[in-house]
Structure 1
Amino acid sequence: MPKLDYRNLEKDPARCGGQAVVTGTRIRVATILTCYRLGMTVEEIVQQYPVLRPADVHDALAYAYDHLTEIEDDLAADEEAFNQGAGTRI
């Protein structure tokens, strides 16, 4: 699996649809960015996801802001999938 320029992140086609994740986890960069945008601090994100270290969160945020279009597309796909699924439930 190819490492990214961010030492704590990777993209693996077999994990989370190839989206950027924290190395060795299924925690997506998009998830970390969402937490941060909701007002969570780095420390709160680490508390929410104990497998993460502060460096992981900082790398994820740096990657997110350096690749904002990619991450925004991932978040939009999540929202579209959620909306499609919600529409079919009774």
Structure 2
Amino acid sequence: MPKLDYRNIEIDAERCGGQPVVAGTRIRVATILTCYRQGMSVEEITQQYSSLKPADVHDALAYAYDHIAEIEQALAEDDELIAKHKR
């Protein structure tokens, strides 16, 4: 089975806390997954984030589902941060 290549996804410790993002942007894979789970289509996501191409969204979703525990952890940390700021 060939290795999957997420050519549109990068991880840089200096950007977004080292979370996976679409290459050349600060748009996190977790953000794209959240949009998709909320019912947005690939086309709607690219309209919302005009710097993205459909291939970027598909790579982000593939990465997310292949690394679901990592992405779910990032989303849980986001939720905790939001809850702390609401107190």
For Structure 1 versus Structure 2, the TM-score category normalised by the shorter chain is over 0.9
Normalising by structure 2, we get a TM-score of 0.94
Look up the match of 2:76. Answer: 76
Equivalent residue letter for 1:10:
E
Q: Tell me the matched-pair count.
A: 84
**What residue in structure 2 maps to residue 65 of structure 1?**
65
CA RMSD of aligned residues (A): 1.1
CA distance in 1, matches of 2:78, 2:47: 24
CA–CA separation in structure 2 for the residues paired with 1:84 and 1:48: 27
- The answer for unaligned runs of 5 or more in structure 2 is none
**1 or 2 for the larger relative contact order (CA 8 Å, sep ≥6)?**
2
Q: List structure 1 segments (4+ residues) > 4 angstroms apart after TM superposition.
A: none
For structure 1, the 5+ residue unaligned runs are none
1:45 alignment counterpart: 45
Query: Counterpart of 1:62 in structure 2: which amino acid?
Result: A
User: Equivalent pairs: percent with the same residue?
Assistant: 70
What amino acid does structure 1 have at the position aligned with 2:85? Answer: G
